[in-house]
Structures are given as structure tokens and as C-alpha cells.
A and B are shown apart, each in its own frame.
Chain A
Amino acid sequence: MNEVFQAIAMVSMGIVGTAVVLARDPLRQALILGVYGMTMIVTFFALQAPDVALSAIVVTSVGLPPMVLLALRKLREYRREHEE
């Protein structure tokens, strides 16, 4: 039973990882990155690593997305300011 769970978690990690790369718009990619973090966390739990899963939870849900979104906002504001 555990083997099936591990196999499903890892295969879903591979599929969502491919989707992260194939999404060209950075804003859409930030959302898919959140889902990718979720599959990564489930895989870490399946591999009996709760400490690593806790670290991945805090980083992919509250450590990385604010930086990506704030950088994107700065780029958009700068472009709008210099085109007028």
C-alpha cells in the first residue's frame, strides 16, 4: 500500500514539474509552482521524512511566492511607467 502511494506521488511530481516548465507566462507559472510544491511535500511524506516536508511546506507556500509575485509586480510597474 505504501509502495503504491509512493509511486503515485513521484509520478505526479514528474508531471506537474513538466507543466511548470511548459508554462511560459510567469504569473501562471507561479500558480503551478504552488501545486508543484504540494506534490513535492506529499512525496517527502511518503519517503518518511517529516522534517524535510515541514521545511518544504514553509518555503514553497510562504517563502518563495511573495518574492516571485513582488518581482513580477515591480517589472510590470516599471514597464508601464516607462511607456507613457
Chain B
Amino acid sequence: MSQRGRLLLFLPSAAVLLFLLIDGLQRLTGFGHYPGPYGFVLNGVGVNQRHATNLVTAVNFDYRAFDTLGEEFILFTATTAIVLILRHMRGERERPSGDELRRENASEALRGMALAFVAALIVLGGYVVTHGALTPGGGFQGGVVLGCAAFLVFLAGEVVAMKRVAPEKLLEFADAAGAAGFALLGIGGLVFAGVFFQNFLDLGKPGSLNSAGTMPLVSISIGIEVAGAFLLVWTEFLDQAVLVRSGGGGSE
């Protein structure tokens, strides 16, 4: 079917879809008039029950931790799939590391600033991860910040510098350890308190760093996993774009 034929078929069905969407969405209660009791119940009891002040993290890592387990394993599986897809095909070889990999076109300002921010980003990432139960933050956000800190080493210099800071074996180990740590904390709830993902550690005082039971530990393990996964994906794309060159036979 030609391009124009596809467009002629799509436009009327898009109009019908738009009409059905708007008709369905306007049967919801209006914007701002939230009806359901679940949100109000959680807001009322969340701080007293779990001693956590950030209720979004409490919902993610405690009340609905089972859903977060599923999402985290989606992340793990997608990363494994990317590593599998970008494997070396027959006829490709890796360019030996040498002076041609130094980015001569990069400006000095970029490299200086990138180098200056690596340490600051590690501290910021650690802060966001450990204060997940207290202020806006948590494992997912802080994990990406930690991954970016290692990626800045590449921006400040060469590809081989980043590979020395974050070798692939370490990244794969971090990815798997984070995912396994989260599942083990759930099993810990089963072993020590009888219910899968029950909060089994001492709850502490709300507002202090050592509060909310297992939530800081879950946050740290998810932070390690997300940092490992993102760095692994970036390393794979960097390998493809900079290092891998196809040989004389080309693709098959």
C-alpha cells in the first residue's frame, strides 16, 4: 500500500479515535474533583503508619512494592535485550584504542566543566538516593544521576577513560545485584514478618535519615540497579558509534 493510501486510511480513523477519546475522557469527574477514597486514606495514615514523609516513595517501595518489582525487572530485561541485540556481527572488528579516539574537536571549556562536575554529581546522586523516604527523590532518580557522573568522564576525555572507570563486568554485576537485592528484601519480609514485602525493620522517627524501615535499603538497591542499567546501555551505544567498524564483507 502506497504512502498516500496509508495516509488516506489513517486520517478518518484518527478522527474517529479522537472523537471516542474525548467522549470517554469527559465522562471522568472533572479536573480537580478527585472522588476516590484511596488517595485520601493514604494521605491520612501514611506518615503515622510508615514514619516516612515522602508518601510517593512510600507507595512505590512499601505499599505497592510488588508493582515496582515488576517495573524493575522490565528495566533489567530491556537492558539485557539491548546488550544482546548490539552484539558483534560477523565481519566486524573493534578499532584498537589509540590517539584517534581522543576527541580533538571538543572544546576545553566542555572538558574542564565536565571534569569539575563528576565529584559533585556523585555526592548529589548519593543524597537523592538515600533521602528517598524524606524528600522528593528515591532510587530511580538518584540512580540516573549516579550513572551520569560516570558518563561525564567520557565527555571530559576519551572513551577508554570511561571504560576504565566503569568496566562492563562491574556494570553487569551492579545491574544484577540491584535487581536481586530488591527481590531479597521482599523475601526478607516473607521470612521475618510473614508477608512478602512487609516492612520488617525498625521504623524510627519520621524525618531522620534512619527511618521508614526497609525503604532506604530498597532505594539504595534500586539506585545501584538503575545506574548500572543506564551506564550499560550508554556503553553499548558508545561502542557501536565509536569503536566498532565493519570489515570488508559488510553486513550479511
Contacts and interface: CB of A to CB of B under 8 A. Distances in A.
A66 interface: yes
A63 interface: yes
B234 A54 contact: no
Interface stretch (B44-52, B99-107, B141-149, B199-207): B141-149
A66 B234 contact: yes
A59 B136 contact: no
B77 interface: no
Nearest to A53: B136
A77 B65 CA distance: 44
Nearest to B57: A51
A83 to B, nearest CB: 12
A70 B141 contact: no
Nearest to A50: B136
Interface in B162-221: none
B245 A81 contact: yes
Contact of A55 (B140, B238, B240): B140
B233 interface: yes
Interface in A23-66: 50-52, 54-55, 58-59, 62-63, 66
Contacts of A59: 144
A54 B241 contact: no
Given A59-B144, A63-B144, A51 B137 contact: yes
Contacts of B233: 67
B61 interface: no
Contacts of A71: 237, 241
Interface string B219-234: 0000000000010011
Contact of A66 (B145, B237, B245): B237
A62 B226 CA distance: 13
Contact of B234 (A52, A67, A77): A67
B238 A70 contact: yes
B79 interface: no
Nearest to A68: B237
B237 A70 contact: yes
Nearest to B60: A51
A46 B42 CA distance: 22
A54 B141 contact: yes
B145 A58 contact: yes
Interface in B51-65: 54, 56-57
B50 to A, nearest CB: 16
Given A51-B137, A54-B137, A73 B144 contact: no
Interface of B: 54, 56-57, 128, 136-138, 140-141, 144-145, 148, 151, 230, 233-234, 237-238, 240-241, 245-246, 250
Question: Nearest 6 A-B pairs (CB), nearest first?
Answer: A70-B237, A58-B144, A50-B136, A74-B241, A51-B56, A70-B241
20 contacts: A50-B136, A51-B56, A51-B57, A51-B136, A51-B138, A54-B128, A54-B137, A54-B141, A58-B144, A58-B145, A62-B148, A63-B144, A63-B230, A66-B234, A66-B237, A67-B234, A70-B234, A71-B241, A78-B246, A82-B246
